[in-house]
Structure 1
Amino acid sequence: MMNSEARGYHGIDVGGTKIELVSYIEQGHDLKEVHRERIATPCVDFVEFLDAIQALLVRADAVLGMRAAVGIGLPGITDSESGRQLSSNVPALNGRLVVSSLKEALQRPIAVGNDCQCFALSEAQGGAADGMPSMFGAIIGTGAGGGYCLDGRLLRGSNGVAGEWGHWPLAPSLLAPYALPLYECPCGRRGCLERYVSGPGMSQLHRHFGGGDETPLSIVAHAQSGSATAAKTLEVHVDLLGHALASLVMTLDPHVVVLGGGLSQLAHLYQQLPGAVRRHLFAGVRTPPILPPAFGDAGGARGAALLARQNSTASSNDN
């Protein structure tokens, strides 16, 4: 049990395959991790999803010895008019009043943000982009999304969707050279970037080029073992991802890009992406450094905890 005088925060990162809770205690301006638990995401049943969050918090509160503030990073966006969640990666949340349901179920104040934006905030404050005037956190995992920070401050935009590059359309100029179809996206559109550059997107590219049903890690392993099909998949994936990040550079001009999500663990991306981005930029435009995350898979949870601390501080100042 932690010191009752210490301030504690729980950060919960909800992804398409896992929910991760990380608990912290405040040490000056820093957060010290004291507890971590990861479970599979209940993707179909909403009640099961709410129960899973509650069970995680009961165990985490017991570790901290306090009923700590909670921040939650959710996938997708919250409709500003209806309050309903639009989530293509966790069907159980789609169309649900997730935020209000969580507040009712948990019976405590919570701070809620986009999971990708939470990742960016974490890397901007004490992470790989700490101290940078601007940064873009690009998550490439089950889906593709991100967040943009200026001077360590997250910019969410009018609709809260700033950084949703995964649902930009793939450039038509890249479809023809690789004979790529316009894949349907669960968001209701066709040709969204995440259908090509995410983890499942890479696997889909591999099938398109004649490969089997492989994971990104196995595709990389087969390429290293001499598979021409796997090598072709990685070549095209890097080119598509390079074009996407070049578009981000031309739009936001970040000083640094930090990768997150499962594909951020692939070493070849840091070797090949700078050149791939450069090929799609205007002459004279510098490619920003492309860095691995400082906090690994816990970045989203840490960012959610930072939101909880920010929310708690703002509430204290209002009193």
Structure 2
Amino acid sequence: MIRFGVDFGGTKIEVAALNAAGDFVARVRKPNPGNYDEALEVVAALVADAESMAGGSCARLGLGIPGSISPRTGLIRNANSTYLNGRPFGENLETRLARPVRIANDANCLALSEAADGAGAGASVVFAAIVGTGCGGGVVVDGKIINGHNGIGGEWGHAPLPWPKPEEYPGPDCWCGRKGCLETWIAGPAFARDAGFANGQAAMQAIGEGDVKASAALDRYVDRLARSLAVVCDLIDPDIIVLGGGMSNVDALYERLPAAIAPHVFSDIFETPVRKAVHGDSSGVRGAVWLWPPEV
């Protein structure tokens, strides 16, 4: 049985098909046009391309998005791709494709993928954090996404930076209308801005070349990310923390974070592993596929 999923990212839209063994049989992507109607058409075109490549039809579709669905209205909310907010994206996509669609937050999709057969395989409680263009979190317990009563389970990126230092308060303006959200401190652009570079990759290259300012920015980044993850540990005490997104490619994080988290956790021990997503940037689309169980 072939299953299909969509990773609806801020800069690109990807559709993939997996076989029963969990192997890719199709994977296609296009830039996200940043417009609601055009984005619907891009998804539809990519599904058709993936069906052709996979040699099978898409009976149902899983979709990972930035943001979540309001259980009250059924509309998208909290998406940093703000043109999705207040719109019935899932309903419109079902109409456009004439097939059922299941939607989940993209960080939840990351967590689901990594819990199924990635870095969190075999773990009961998995917390996955996206630290890329934006910042978000997802929680999976015993193989199931924890959406919560209000549909905001794991919505970590718009909590405030914990234990702020005087120079960190009240923090930068966030697109959501608040100040000092985690997204303004630990997303990739925040690190790059603090380091004085156009992007995180350039900043990390500068660190490798001995740039003192960029190295100091990484020190601050590790400290802020550690404080942010410590609160998660106090709340749900996960068996594993999995990082995805562009900043997850910074190997120094896995060496430094456990020791940086430990002093902030309300425990006499801290042994929770912090690992990189095994499936990398494929985890989002793989998690979207997993929104439909194989037997359905």
TM (normalized to structure 1)?
0.88
- Note the aligned Cα RMSD (angstroms): 1.6
CA contact (8 A) 1:18 1:40 kept: yes
- Which amino acid is 2:61 matched to? V
Which of 88, 93, 103 pairs up with 1:102? 93
CA distance, structure 1, for counterparts of residue 48 and residue 267 of structure 2: 55
Quote the offset at 1:230 in angstroms.
Answer: 0.5
Where in structure 1 are there 5+ consecutive unaligned residues? 1-6, 314-319
Which of 56, 76, 83 pairs up with 1:92? 83
Which of 144, 148, 171 pairs up with 1:157? 148
Match of 1:3 in 2: none
The 1:67–1:150 alpha-carbon spacing in structure 2 relative to 1, beyond 3 Å, is same
CA contact (8 A) 1:9 1:309 kept: no
Match of 1:15 in 2: 9
Quote the offset at 1:82 in angstroms.
Answer: 2.2
- Which amino acid is 1:22 matched to? A
Match of 2:172 in 1: 183
Whether 1:228 and 2:222 are equivalent positions in the alignment is: no
- 1:97-136 map, 5 Å: 97-136=88-127
CA contact (8 A) 1:110 1:308 kept: no
Quote the offset at 1:36 in angstroms.
Answer: 1.0
Which of 238, 243, 258 pairs up with 2:222? 238
- Which amino acid is 1:8 matched to? I
CA contact (8 A) 1:89 1:142 kept: no
Whether 1:25 and 2:15 are equivalent positions in the alignment is: no
TM (normalized to structure 2)?
0.94
CA distance, structure 1, for counterparts of residue 237 and residue 77 of structure 2: 28
Which of 281, 287, 290 pairs up with 1:297? 281
SS in 1 for 2:150: coil
Quote the offset at 1:203 in angstroms.
Answer: 2.1
Quote the offset at 1:279 in angstroms.
Answer: 2.7
The 1:85–1:283 alpha-carbon spacing in structure 2 relative to 1, beyond 3 Å, is closer
Match of 1:81 in 2: 72
Identical columns (%)? 36
SS in 2 for 1:167: coil
Quote the offset at 1:93 in angstroms.
Answer: 1.1
Which of 241, 244, 256 pairs up with 1:272? 256
- Which amino acid is 2:279 matched to? F
CA radius of gyration, larger in: 1
Greater shift after overlay, 80-89 or 7-16?
Answer: 80-89
How many residue pairs were aligned?
295
Where in structure 2 are there 5+ consecutive unaligned residues? none
Match of 2:244 in 1: 260
The 1:232–1:180 alpha-carbon spacing in structure 2 relative to 1, beyond 3 Å, is farther
Match of 1:196 in 2: 185
CA contact (8 A) 1:137 1:146 kept: yes
CA contact (8 A) 1:197 1:237 kept: yes
The 1:133–1:110 alpha-carbon spacing in structure 2 relative to 1, beyond 3 Å, is same
SS in 2 for 1:148: strand
CA distance, structure 2, for counterparts of residue 114 and residue 65 of structure 1: 28
SS in 2 for 1:309: coil
Quote the offset at 1:79 in angstroms.
Answer: 2.0
